[in-house]
Amino acid sequence: MTADPRFLIVDDFSTMRRIVRNLLKEIGFGNAEEAEDGVVALNMLKAGKFDFVVSDINMPNMNGFELLKNIRADDSLKAIPVLMVTAEAKKEDIVMAAQGGASGYIVKPFTKATLEEKVQKIMTKQG
Amino acid sequence: MGHSEAAVLAGQHPQHADGADAAAAVPPSGTDSDDGIRQRIGHLTRTLHDALRQLGYDRELTQARDNLPDARDRLAYIARVTGEAAEKVLNAVDRARTVQEELTGQAGSLQKRWQAVAAYAADGKGCTPAGKSLIGETCEFFAAVGGQADRTNAILTDIMMAQDFHDLTGQVIRRVVTLAQSLEEQLVKLLIETTPPELRPRLEHLQLEGPVVAPEGRDDVVADQQGVDDLLASLGF
């Protein structure tokens, strides 16, 4: 992971994108872009170099599961960690995300401490 | 409970308006061709329609259908207004953070200068006891500014995090709107199927009408305050 990792925040609600972006800035990661759904996110990921994806699940056009599947199926993207941040709290969804290759899973509403912990944990794992 | 309603609930066939027995028109079992099935469904629908009409439920169905777009639009309005409110709060938090950062920066700069003054005064060079005390208190104040700024930032973070209600409630509203839309479509289909052919064009027109709250493309509503002002100005107010 680079010293100034570039984040992509994917959520269909602009308020949540702002919240995650501000939280990442507070915990020391100020380099972030935003996408409103999986389709936009996938295009951005293919077009530019990103080091970390924070994604919602329930989104129009392409949901978080589909985005995760596409990322993991693409040789140039599959190494990027994907942290799911979602209101979907069903166990089957959490299991599905893990089986699909998600690096972490946060249920909304969440705290700054939770986001920081998960991001740092994934960063440490990535090396 | 009326006779017809009781009959429907009991699975019996009430009489048609023209007196014919709906059950008598149903083909005998064992002829399950597509046409036969369609014919039977048609008769069941007719029976249901008659029962609903006799009970006055067709009017209630129409009324329910008419109210659904309004309910959807009201929910969409709530989602939009709460979203705008959340954005306003986030903007205010951003502005407050900027002010806080400026304050902290200025305090840090002044703290260094006052520390130099304090070192000078500590040598007893031209400073009264009251002056020494004031210098000490000022240095302590500047030293505390950083901690207070951190606490303010933590509060601002709490305020920011509370705006996640927009995402959470918005998702619920979206699901209810989708449900209402599906319900409305099914009600319209039911009404069309149970309405005499000569009255159907009116209902089909209703189906195409869609939401009425969205002001875009309408000339009987204003889209914003500018529209209100322009309208009042055109009337000479």
pLDDT values of chain A reduced to their tens digit, one per residue, 127 residues:
788 999 999 999 999 999 999 999 999 999 999 999 999 999 999 998 999 999 999 999 999 999 999 999 999 999 999 999 998 888 888 989 999 999 999 999 899 999 999 999 999 988 7
The residue among B167, B168, B174, B178 with the most chain A CBs within 10 A of its CB, best to mutate, is: B167
Question: How many independent structural domains does chain A possess?
Answer: 1
Residue in B with minimal Cα distance to A11: B167
B107 in any annotated domain: yes
Residue A14 CA: distances (Å) to CA of A56, B80, B94, B110, B112:
12, 12, 15, 39, 41
Q: Chains A, B: CB contacts under 8 A, how many? A: 49
pLDDT beneath 70: ranges in chain B: 1-32, 52-58, 124-125, 194-196, 198-233, 235-237
From B27's Cα to the closest Cα of chain A, the distance in A is: 46
Q: Is B23 left (phi over 0), alpha (psi -120 to 50) or beta?
A: alpha
Q: Note whether A71 contacts B: Cβ–Cβ < 8 A.
A: no
In a domain? residue B223 = no
Flag whether A104 is in a domain: yes
Mind giving me the DSSP string for A42-97?
Answer: HHHHHHS--SEEEE-SS-SSS-HHHHHHHHHH-TTTTTS-EEEEES---HHHHHHH
The answer to whether the CB atoms of B167 and A108 lie below 8 A apart is yes
For B80, the closest chain A residue by CA position comes to A13
Condensed to tens digits (0 to 9), the pLDDT of residues A37-49 reads 999 999 999 998 9
Structure tokens at A74: 């693409």
Quick check: is A2 in a domain?
no
Give me the residue from B87, B161, B171 closest to A112, CB to CB: B161
Which residues of chain A have a CB within 8 Å of the CB of B157?
22-23, 26, 112
- CB contact set of B135 (below 8 Å; sequence gap of 6+): B114, B117, B118, B121, B127
Q: Same domain, yes or no, for B108 and B12?
A: no
- Is A15 close to B83, i.e. CB distance below 8 A? yes
Same structural domain, B125 and B38: no
The boundaries of the domain holding residue B8 are: 1-55
> What span, in angstroms and rounded, lies between the C-alpha atoms of B43 and A125?
66
> Are residues B43 and B19 part of one domain?
yes
Q: Enumerate the residues of chain A whose CB falls inside 8 A of the CB of residue B170.
A: 13
**Residues B76 and B39 both lie in one domain:** no
Residue B233 in any domain: the answer is no
Q: Is the domain of B8 the same as that of B51?
A: yes
User: What is the ipTM metric for this complex?
Assistant: 0.81
Shortest CA distance from B83: residue in chain A: A15
Task: Report the residue from B90, B157, B168 with minimal CB separation from A26.
Answer: B157
Residue of A19, A36, A37 for testing the chain B interface, max B β-carbons within 10 Å = A19
3-state secondary structure of A127: coil
Flag whether A81 is in a domain: yes
Name the β-bridge partners of A10.
A35, A55
Task: Provide, as residue numbers in chain A, all residues whose Cβ is less than 8 Å from the Cβ of B158.
Answer: none
pLDDT of residue B206: 45
Query: How confident is the model at residue B226, as a pLDDT?
Result: 60
H or E stretch covering A106: strand A104-107
Which pLDDT belongs to residue B201? Answer: 58
Cα of B35 vs its chain's centroid, Å? 45
B114 lies in the same domain as B4:
no
Give residue A121's pLDDT: 94
Residue A96 in any domain: the answer is: yes
pLDDT of residue B62: 75
What local confidence, expressed as pLDDT, does residue B219 receive? Answer: 63
| Residue B225 placed within a domain | no
Contacts of A71 (CB under 8 A, 6+ apart): A42, A45, A53, A77, A78, A80, A82, A101
Length of chain B, please?
237
Whether residue B93 is found in the same domain as residue B208: yes
Looking at the fold, whether B50 and B77 belong to one and the same domain comes out as no
The span from the CA of B197 to the CA of B208, in Å, is 17
Contact A71, A77 (CB under 8 A): yes
Q: A58 in a domain, yes or no?
A: yes
Question: Are residues B51 and B79 located together in one domain of the fold?
Answer: no
User: Could you tell me if B79 and B39 lie in one domain?
Assistant: no
In which residue are the tokens 């709490």 written?
B158
User: Is B182 a domain residue?
Assistant: yes
Give the distance from residue A15's alpha carbon to the nearest chain B alpha carbon, in angstroms: 6
Contacts of A77 (CB under 8 A, 6+ apart): A45, A46, A70, A71
Q: Is A58 part of the contact surface with chain B (CB cutoff 8 Å)?
A: yes
CATH number of the domain enclosing A16: 3.40.50.2300
The residue with tokens 């100005």 is B233
- Domain of A109, in residue numbers: 7-126
Report CB contact under 8 Å: B167, A26.
no
Specify if B231 maps to a domain: no
Q: Is A7 helix (H, G, I), strand (E, B) or coil?
A: strand
Q: How many domains does chain B have?
A: 2
DSSP B159: H
Residues B113 and B174 in one domain: yes
Domain membership of residue B64 (yes or no) is no
Please state whether the peptide bond connecting residue B196 to the residue before it is cis, i.e. omega within 30 degrees of 0: no
- What pLDDT shows up at residue A68? 97
Q: Are residues B97 and B40 in the same domain?
A: no
Contact assessment for residue A16 and residue B164, using Cβ atoms and an 8 Å cutoff: yes
Please tell me the predicted confidence (pLDDT) of residue B39: 79
3-state helix/strand/coil string of A34-55: EECCHHHHHHHHHHCCCCEEEE
